[in-house]
Amino acid sequence: EAQVTQNPRYLITVTGKKLTVTCSQNMNHEYMSWYRQDPGLGLRQIYYSMNVEVTDKGDVPEGYKVSRKEKRNFPLILESPSPNQTSLYFCASSPREGNTIYFGEGSWLTVV
Amino acid sequence: GESVGLHLPTLSVQEGDNSIINCAYSNSASDYFIWYKQESGKGPQFIIDIRSNMDKRQGQRVTVLLNKTVKHLSLQIAATQPGDSAVYFCADVRSNDYKLSFGAGTTVTVRA
């Protein structure tokens, strides 16, 4: 079954405590990306990756880091989380050429 | 800046009626457009897409119309069912990097 898997699904953390949200896809897709979803703002892209070792900033990259050491994984790293990073996060993947973009189930993150 | 947006944040529809969800975009360089459906607690799910060289595309109970002259996109759902209650997003896709830009979303509520 084609899947994009995110972990954790739910997390409450404190300001400044580093955390990582993992993302893994089993479809051998080259393109992966991270979005955050906030009320009234829709989905905004944080970072994306066209292939292994290739990453680029999206629309709202501040406060986030990513890495793409292998094709299937694209973790999102919050080095020093702040309350304004409280949001619902989605990882997505798609083939390099194609129009179907698969989303994970989402990760609810609360920073207190 | 360039963006994709939806005309109305909410839409209430009687079960069995047809629904029309609208979207305006400003990026004339977008290669194609996608409609997503997001149910509560889940990630966005692909519904239908349309390339910029097309005016209309039909799926199962859904039709997407593209008017490039006025940069307008719409999703029509025939015989709306309770299971169609969700948030609907339009997105435009840049072909060079597959970056999606999402609108804020329209919440569709189906009345029994």
pLDDT for position A53: 94
- Give the range among A10-14, A107-111, B5-9, B41-45 with minimum mean pLDDT: B5-9
Nearest by CB to B104, from A42, A58, A103: name it. Answer: A42
- Least confident stretch, A11-15, A16-20, A38-42, B12-16: A38-42
Which residues of B fall within a CB distance of 8 Å from A44?
102
Q: Which pLDDT band holds residue B2 (cuts at 50, 70, 90)?
A: very low
Average pLDDT over every residue of A79-108: 89
pLDDT tens profile A51-70: 999 999 999 999 999 999 99
A106–B93 CB contact, under 8 Å: no
Closest CA to A33 of A1, A10, A3, A56: A56
B13-to-A34, A110, B80 alpha-carbon distances in Å: 32, 34, 8
Report the distance separating Cα B22 and Cα A77, nearest Å. 36
Q: What is the pLDDT of residue B6?
A: 55
Distance CA A13, CA A78 (A): 11
**pLDDT, position A18:** 97
Instruction: Match 């955050």 to its residue by tokens.
Output: A36
SS3 A83: helix
CA nearest to B95, candidates B33, B11, B14, B19: B33
- Distance CA(A5)–CA(A103), nearest Å, equals 9
Pairwise CA distance, residues B68 & B91, whole Å: 15
Q: Is residue B8 pLDDT above 70, yes or no?
A: yes
Distance of CA A47 to the CA centre of its chain: 7
| Whether residue A98 has pLDDT greater than 60 | no
Q: Tell me the percentage of chain A whose pLDDT exceeds 90.
A: 84
Structural contact between residues A32 and A48, judged by C-beta atoms closer than 8 angstroms: yes
Best of A59, A94, A97, A101 to mutate (most B CBs within 10 Å, chain B): A101
The one-character DSSP state at A73 is B
Quote the CA–CA distance of B110 and B112 in Å, as a whole number.
7
How far is A87 from chain B, CA to nearest CA, in Å?
Answer: 13
Secondary structure of residue A85 in the 3-state scheme: helix
Tokens at A67, concatenated: 């890495």
- Residues pairing with B51 in the sheet: B32
pLDDT, position A40: 79
Q: In this predicted model, what pLDDT tens digit does every residue of B37-82 receive, in sequence order?
A: 999 888 999 999 999 999 999 999 999 999 988 889 999 999 999 9
Per-chain mean pLDDT for chain B: 88
**In this predicted structure, what is the pLDDT of residue B5?**
61
Is the Cβ of A88 closer than 8 Å to some Cβ of chain B?
A: no
Give the minimum alpha-carbon distance from A24 to chain B in angstroms, rounded to a whole number.
15
Which is more confidently placed, B37 or B1? B37
Query: For residue A101, what pLDDT is reported?
Result: 83
